[in-house]
Amino acid sequence: MEQEEEKVHEEEKQQEEEEEQEPPESPGSFFSSTSCSTSDEDSSSQEEEGTGFHQASEDTKSLPRDLLNEKVANLVHLMILKYQQKEPITKAEMLKVAIKRDNKQFLVTFEKASKCLEVISGIDVKEVDPKTHCYVLFNSLGLTHDKIVSDDQNMPTNGLLIIILGVIFIEGNCVPEENIWNFLNMIGIKAGRKHFIYGEPRKLITRNWVQENSLEYWMVSNSDPSRCEFRWGPRSYAETSKLKVLEFLAKIKGIDLISFSDCYEEALRDEEERAGARNNSMDSNTAMFIVQHLLVIPDPTEETVFEEGSQVSK
């Protein structure tokens, strides 16, 4: 086992050395390559959801896409800063700092930034004061690990972890490493290319999350050429569930849970098993508590006398 792990680390190091170091990912290009970007499909789906989204789609048409992506990236950075500082954020702050007082474009920029924040970081935005338009930001995924230490700041990464856990689950609870990277490349996240949110992705995924037991990273036995695969780590099993992961994926894709078909059924079975395990544990703990704290009830057929405050059977 130790030899296999050493071999994995050697190959990882070799891959890092062989990979061509590309320039860092820019915020604008990242948002244009993910579901956060503006598209006609996004606009049409938003129009169906209500008048506010309809107005947002109209505003989108009047704003150049590159400029919109830049405003979205600026707002996401501001939201992450507020999340790290555990501070609320107001519409006035967003207009002043990120959107440059462009009130007409606020709605479309805010909606897209909120969606991007949830996708990349697992952070939800909730309005708490409609009069002042004050919002709070909170971790909606239930994972205790919500940041990595980069060169200059801590950045939340739960969204990416949940997405990878989802890919692993959908692929049969075990997925070849190359499939993970093929997927990440499609959303603009590449090994060897520093990302403005996630840092160096290979280090984050194959080292940080593996060391923290969020993922398992194993070399496939007797594979030629040698290859590795990912599975859920024990920490992920403890802090989230297959159903929660599917719910997150369905939400960011805008589809119904039953669209996942067989995976949804497996997730429901997993929930039932978890509930059964919790009930059994609770029953055992309750019984132990009762045994430890149960008062000794005297036999009413026995005559008792009291001596110096104590009860003694006669």
For residue 171, being part of any structural domain is answered with: yes
Looking at the fold, whether 108 and 163 belong to one and the same domain comes out as no
pLDDT band at 140 (very low <50, low <70, confident <90, very high): confident
CATH number at residue 122: 1.10.10.1200
Instruction: Report residue 175: phi and psi, to 5°.
Output: -135, 135
CATH number at residue 181: 1.10.10.1210
For residue 231, being part of any structural domain is answered with: yes
Q: Tokens representing 211?
A: 């060391």
Q: Tokens representing 223?
A: 């594979």
Overall domain count for the chain: 2
The DSSP secondary structure of 91-135, one letter per residue, reads HHHHHHHTSTT-GGGHHHHHHHHHHHHHHHH-EEEEEEETTTTEE
What's the CA gap between 25 and 19, in Å, rounded? 16
| Domain termination residue (choose one: 207, 232, 258) | 258
Q: What is the pLDDT of residue 122?
A: 82
pLDDT at 207 over 90: yes
Looking at the fold, whether 131 and 221 belong to one and the same domain comes out as no
What's the CA gap between 218 and 210, in Å, rounded? 10
Mean pLDDT of all residues in 261-281: 84
Mean pLDDT of all residues in 111-118: 90
Looking at the fold, whether 134 and 148 belong to one and the same domain comes out as no
> pTM of the predicted model, to two decimals?
0.67
- The closest alpha carbon to 74, from 49, 104, 60, 94, belongs to 94
Q: Which of 111-125, 234-248, 276-290 has the lowest mean pLDDT?
A: 276-290
pLDDT at 47 over 60: no
For residue 298, being part of any structural domain is answered with: no
Looking at the fold, whether 113 and 203 belong to one and the same domain comes out as no
150-167 pLDDT, tens digit each: 444 456 788 889 999 999
Mean pLDDT of all residues in 243-269: 89
Looking at the fold, whether 244 and 161 belong to one and the same domain comes out as yes
pLDDT band at 283 (very low <50, low <70, confident <90, very high): low
Looking at the fold, whether 132 and 182 belong to one and the same domain comes out as no
Looking at the fold, whether 227 and 203 belong to one and the same domain comes out as yes
For residue 10, being part of any structural domain is answered with: no
Share of the chain above pLDDT 70, in %: 64
Mean pLDDT of all residues in 126-145: 86
| Domain termination residue (choose one: 258, 277, 303) | 258
Q: What is the pLDDT of residue 119?
A: 84
For residue 37, being part of any structural domain is answered with: yes
Looking at the fold, whether 208 and 130 belong to one and the same domain comes out as no
| Domain termination residue (choose one: 139, 161, 192) | 139
Looking at the fold, whether 120 and 162 belong to one and the same domain comes out as no
The rounded mean pLDDT for the chain is 75
Parent domain of 76: 27-139
179-202 pLDDT, tens digit each: 999 999 988 888 888 887 788 899
- The closest alpha carbon to 134, from 102, 93, 104, 106, belongs to 93
For residue 238, being part of any structural domain is answered with: yes
Looking at the fold, whether 149 and 119 belong to one and the same domain comes out as no
Looking at the fold, whether 231 and 199 belong to one and the same domain comes out as yes
For residue 286, being part of any structural domain is answered with: no
For residue 276, being part of any structural domain is answered with: no
Looking at the fold, whether 170 and 244 belong to one and the same domain comes out as yes
